[in-house]
Amino acid sequence: MALGSAAVSAERQRLREYWRQLAEEAYRSGEHAMEQGQWQEAAFWLSRATRLSPRQDTIRLLSALLKLRRGDPTAKADFETLARQYETTEILSGLATMQVLGGDLTQAAVTVQRLLSRIRHDVWPIAHELLMTVSRAAGLTGWCRLSAKGQVHAYEVGTGDADPASLSFILDGIRLETAPSMQTLVAGHFLDVRSGNRPLLGSPFDLVAMYRVQGWIDWNKDGDVQGWAWHPGCPDADPLLSVISADGHSYGPFTAHEPAEKVGLDTPFARPRRIHVPLGIWDGTGLVSVRDVRGNDLLGSPLDPHLVPLLKLQQQGDGAAFAPAIRPVRALARALPVSAPALPCPADTLPEMKPLVPLRCGPVAESLSTASPVETGRPVSIVIPVYGGGAVVRACLESVLDTVPGSTEIIIVNDAGYDAALLEHLQALAGQGRISLLHQARNRGFPSTVNLGMRATGAGRDVVLLNSDTLVPKGWLDRLQKAACAAADIGTATPFSNDASILSYPQEEGRWPLPDRAETEQFALFARQANKDRVIDIPVAVGFCMYIRRDCLDEVGVFRDDVFAQGYGEENDFCLRARALGWRHVVATGAFVAHVGGGSFGEGRSRLAARNESILSALHPGYHDMVAAWRARNPLHASRRAMDVLRFRAALPDRPAVLMITHDRGGGVQRQIETRMALFHQAGRNVIVLRPVMIEETASYEGWTVLDTGFADHYPHLRHRMPRDRPALLRLLRQIKVERVELHHLLGHDHAVAGLAAALGVPQDMHVHDYAAFCPRIALMSPARRYCGEPEIDQCERCIAEGGSHLEESISVAALRRRSQRDLMEAAQVITPSQDVARRMRRHFPALHPIIVPWEEGADVVAMTSGAMTSAMDNDMAAWGSLADHVCVICVIGAIGAEKGFDCLLEAARDAAARSLPLRFVLVGHSVDDPALLETGYVRITGRYSDDDLPALIVAQKAKMAWIPSIWPETWCFTLSEAWRAGLPVAAFDLGTVAERIKNAQAHQSHAGLVMPLGIPVQIINDTFLSCQMDRTGFAPPANRVNRIQFC
């Protein structure tokens, strides 16, 4: 990794940790306030924590519980969101309560059924009155629960606790004579409980969910088994586990009861227990399995003791000592045959591998070999492993059955799933002869399950491994077979997909939302039209949809389910073994298959992937270097780009277009871009946006640009490197009929983009958003973090020499201004948002005659209605709570850095604290140093906000005034508009467009505010805030005005 990339990665990691710590501190403050019964205080801190870490569901749950406690109806939406992903007592009981309070008894019954049937409880999880209401709505006379120890408890309306003798039990369709024992429950799937033959709410119990163990195991540095486990269906119960070696030695059962530290599960209020088992307690030499009470392996199990020394060598960097070896691959193929069950592997069959001898990886071929193609029309078997997934699996099977020839063998392997409706559907298809259905005796994971399917295929049949969460288009199988048969040495072929690691599209190595069936067909059409039958070599196949030639499979053998446990890395290992035997792997660039992706293995997913990556590196030294070299060549760029071009052109109606050139930094520039886009769309024009692209490896832009239609990342491969690719970019712009160019910002671009309009022969308008045209520091800020005053050019050159440039190029101030002069003079129009900006531009470019067009018209900045303000002020987002009724609260809005006045805000807060002033500040947004502001005790910070909730968030603070402490001459300032929309008078320094707008608002009597001299002491600023009598309609200035402060 290059130094630039490392620096970028380190900075991103630092920022992630910074925001994580801020969120944790806010969460702890909210938690403490709840313990003290300070509900409004808790609401603010939890709101801040949520804004800092919006995907942290533990914060969301605690916030929802607080809302429930306070009777806030918005809690329902929070519980609904959480219940879509998790099943916990806190979430489901909260949701059921909100549903009852809202009168939705039908859905409340569904939620309570889920709560009682899938989670064990030692006490009733919600009040009897609520259960009674829900039961009656469901037409039932009682309800039941299962305790942590397996005891059934039932309650009937009118009689109370049900007589145990009146209860009857049906386990998986079989009536029991007595109440089931714990052993019976653990072995079952569904238990139907009735009272006097009457159904009860909560029955039948889903025993698999109730006794499911979620966990993770691995080796530690000493070679002992370590990990964690817990019962999501009964968090208070200690998991019962067993450790079993390949030679039959068993340790256990044992109970994991000690809390596990720093597991970091996503599930709110999860309670994992620690696992630690010394390897030396037995003499076994084979695989080690850790299983739960139902006999299922924990995630990461089985473990191979032979890998421990190999992994240690790999961690020490000694993998390079291993030489290439074909013998182990041949031995593995014998141990993993397709035609018979696997032999014990690796210990009993590979005595020569001490430790396992890794395979050195060479480079991926850069072009198609000259090997002759092989005949197509080969018989194919499709192997699809399933576990759950219901509707997703049915959609997958429907797409497969609709698109493959009748001669195709479809083998479904059920990995001990128990979705009754899905199994019934699969059995029906099997009964019709449309599929073959196989079952695993217990849940084994992807490698073992697909191995079972591959071994069931007929001799001589090629095999396609297909995930059950895919959607396939017409012609997909034919295109994959053509790719696999394009040369005699091709072993596997894989299509593009929306979620397929190195074969992802449109995002490169990222995830894209799942296309529906019609969209999948459209993506497939673009792939076919763009790339036809072209194949390109790839390091390894991707297992979501993997076509394997039979001759390759017979020679290499099936997947290794010994070292890769439930999955991740097993198809890579297979492909690398195949490469060692001379087989190649290709992508069928003309094929596309949709993939849901990311849903396997639950919360241990990342740990399993990381562990198996280490195993893969140890078994195949050089693998990651091989992949890195392949990625650096980026051989799939042309194929992805060809698809982007087709999609891009298809998305544009046949009409003229406007090209907008801008930076990639968002903010006010992006907001104005979106406004301009809307106007052009209304006028019947397409809008195309050209942005710079940062190169991760060098942390620089290097002239790269990307085109889109205004929505980020839709066409990430429409890249051009300027000025090298200028002809290609011009060709594309001509094809889409660009008739005008708007140049909003050149930051990050090679300056050649400024000449695109001239080359196209169309007019170009330049919009001024800041002062990058004559100031390399962009915002007229000196190295001392003060407004520079726009001195003579020699002083500007010294400023840049001392403080550096913020432009993405090395250019002197004089050269920058000469170049900007040419650009401005060649523009059809130069547009500024205010008189202040126009004056500053004319000062440096005297021949310029800008057109003044405000970014917002006065009519656009309309205060909220009094009703909306009252509603917003009643919510729980107020930073200072009831204190706001007794002190003067000043609201600062936005992302506050040096140029936005951070130092001034900090000094003002410190002064207020030092003098114990009845003055508080609330920052609606965030700053470059939140802890410094919070440490004063006089600043509260909400955290990041969305544009939609900003007005209500401002009003909720019950502020007397908004303050814009910017110390550079802002060119517009949308936060000023937001403050006025919230009905607040606004204070600012007498500088830039902000001051101009406040003065103009006074002239038109539309909004209130005051301007203060830049640089006055913060003591005077604070005294001014306190001495003003302010309301939301105007100002009454203080009795003793501060000199030169203008009250507007």
pLDDT digits (tens, 9 = 90+) for 825-881: 999 999 999 999 999 999 999 999 999 999 998 655 666 565 555 555 556 678 898
Cβ partners under 8 Å of residue 56, min gap 6? 23, 27, 49, 50
Is residue 353 over pLDDT 60? Answer: no
Task: Tell me the pLDDT tens digit for each residue of 273-309.
Answer: 999 988 666 555 678 889 999 999 999 988 887 776 6
- pLDDT mean over 348-366: 43
How many CB atoms sit inside 10 A of residue 525's CB? 17
Task: Tell me the pLDDT tens digit for each residue of 183-192.
Answer: 999 999 999 9
Say which residue, 945 or 1048, is predicted with more confidence.
945
Percentage of the chain beyond pLDDT 90 is: 70
Instruction: Give the CA distances from residue 190 to residues 135, 143, 154, 210, 414, in Å, rounded to whole numbers and listed in that order.
Output: 21, 16, 17, 10, 18
What dihedral angle (degrees, nearest 10) is formed by the CA atoms of 360, 364, 370, 376?
Answer: 100
Angle at the Cα of 175 (from 171 to 179), degrees rounded to 5? 70
Angle at the Cα of 287 (from 282 to 289), degrees rounded to 5? 80
- pLDDT mean over 450-477: 96
Least confident of 318-327, 542-551, 757-766, 960-969: 318-327
Helix, coil or strand: residue 39: helix
* pTM assigned to the model: 0.86
523 close to 592: Cβ distance less than 8 angstroms: yes
Instruction: Return d(Cα 804, Cα 815) in angstroms, integer.
Output: 16
Instruction: Return d(Cα 162, Cα 159) in angstroms, integer.
Output: 7
Task: Tell me the pLDDT tens digit for each residue of 606-634.
Answer: 888 888 888 888 888 888 889 999 998 99
Q: Is the peptide bond before 723 cis (omega within 30 degrees of 0)?
A: yes
Task: Tell me the pLDDT tens digit for each residue of 398-451.
Answer: 999 999 999 999 999 999 988 889 999 999 999 999 999 999 988 899 999 999
Please give the pLDDT value at position 235.
Answer: 94
DSSP string, 768-806: -SSSTTT-TTSS-B-TTSSB-----HHHHHHHHHHH---
DSSP string, 174-214: EEESSPPPHHHHHH-SEEEEEETTEE-BTPSEEHHHHH--E
Please give the pLDDT value at position 1031.
Answer: 44
Cβ partners under 8 Å of residue 206, min gap 6? 117, 118, 189, 190
Instruction: Return d(Cα 639, Cα 504) in angstroms, integer.
Output: 12
Is residue 369 over pLDDT 80? Answer: no
Domains defined along the chain, listed by start: 212-305 (2.60.40), 380-638 (3.90.550.10), 652-852 (3.40.50), 858-1047 (3.40.50.2000)
Type of residue numbered 493: A
Please give the pLDDT value at position 698.
Answer: 78
Task: Tell me the pLDDT tens digit for each residue of 63-82.
Answer: 999 999 999 999 999 999 99
- pLDDT mean over 1030-1044: 46
955 close to 796: Cβ distance less than 8 angstroms: no
Is residue 708 over pLDDT 80? Answer: yes
Task: Tell me the pLDDT tens digit for each residue of 799-822.
Answer: 999 999 999 889 999 999 999 999
Instruction: Return d(Cα 919, Cα 913) in angstroms, integer.
Output: 9
- What are the beta bridge partners of residue 465? 383, 546
Angle at the Cα of 181 (from 175 to 184), degrees rounded to 5? 65
- What are the beta bridge partners of residue 536? 587
Give the max Cα distance, the chain: 99
Please give the pLDDT value at position 471.
Answer: 97
E-only strand ranges, 1-73: none
